[in-house]
Amino acid sequence: MLAGNAPRICGALADPKRRFVALGGMIAIAKAERLRITLEREMAALLNDLSQPIPPETIWEMKRNYDDWLPKSVRCRTAYLENRRGAAWRAAKQLGLIDLLSSQSLVAFAETVLGRTLDPKGGQQVLRYGPGDYSGPHTDHTPEIKRAAKGYLDVHLSLVSPGVAHQYLVYAKSGHFTEMVSVAETGCLTLYRLPLWHYTTPLQAKRKQERNAARWVLLGTFLFADS
């Protein structure tokens, strides 16, 4: 890929009609699993609950029939890794997570898929979806951030425990939620040229595996170099 020898992947997100790519088989399963186990041991306790339920007013204050309005709803656990003094950032730094998510090779990889250069100074976040955790339909559009207003790139690395039955990413193409890919594959990389309408289905555990069912997402956000 880095040598430009993967024609279906290199420049895939340069296609104006294509905003999402899922790449399996890019990371050795055993390494991904070791990383997940390390995160579970070292980071799980440092995450915070992120819970934005659907506001009841969206039903009970509605005045017109079928005039639905749905703000972003989400439930998972997360650490935003912005504050260098925070315990989560320090643990992430020590584990090599910050270096992984801002490494030259990851940026080069993302640039290859995107077909344009990125500002290497990205942002990092870590998320953990347990049973029933999800994110509702949203765009991740940030028009108030000038450099991101015309688009930016997210790279997600999924690390999935063996207790997970399924979780899907659904996204819109030509204005309809027609596209659905499994994100319950450990070591799977997903790249988003945002903004894009998408949602993540509630994580389902295998029978009697609820306690051990989790999907970790390591997230790198990058602005375009020329934005």
Which single residue is written with the structure tokens 């979780």?
167
Nearer to Fe ion, 140 or 179 (CB): 140
Question: How far apart, in Å, are the Cα atoms of 97 and each of 39, 143, 190, 208?
Answer: 9, 29, 17, 31
Residue whose beta carbon is closest to Fe ion: 140
If binding is defined by CB under 5 A, does position 42 make contact with Fe ion? no
151: left (phi over 0), alpha (psi -120 to 50) or beta: left
CA–CA dist 185, 169 (Å, integer): 12
If binding is defined by CB under 5 A, does position 140 make contact with Fe ion? yes
140: left (phi over 0), alpha (psi -120 to 50) or beta: left
Nearer to Fe ion, 42 or 140 (CB): 140
CA–CA dist 70, 61 (Å, integer): 13
Minimum separation from the CB atom of position 148 to Fe ion (A) = 13
Stretch that binds Fe ion, among 12-20, 68-76, 139-147, 206-214 (CB under 5 A): 139-147
Nearer to Fe ion, 91 or 160 (CB): 160
Stretch that binds Fe ion, among 12-20, 115-123, 138-146, 201-209 (CB under 5 A): 138-146
If binding is defined by CB under 5 A, does position 40 make contact with Fe ion? no
Nearer to Fe ion, 10 or 217 (CB): 217
Determine the size of the site formed for Fe ion (CB under 5 A): 1
Q: Which two tokens stand for residue 54?
A: 């659907």
Q: What does the longest C-alpha to C-alpha distance in the chain come to?
A: 57
Minimum separation from the CB atom of position 195 to Fe ion (A) = 9
Nearer to Fe ion, 83 or 139 (CB): 139
Positions in the binding site for Fe ion (CB under 5 A): 140
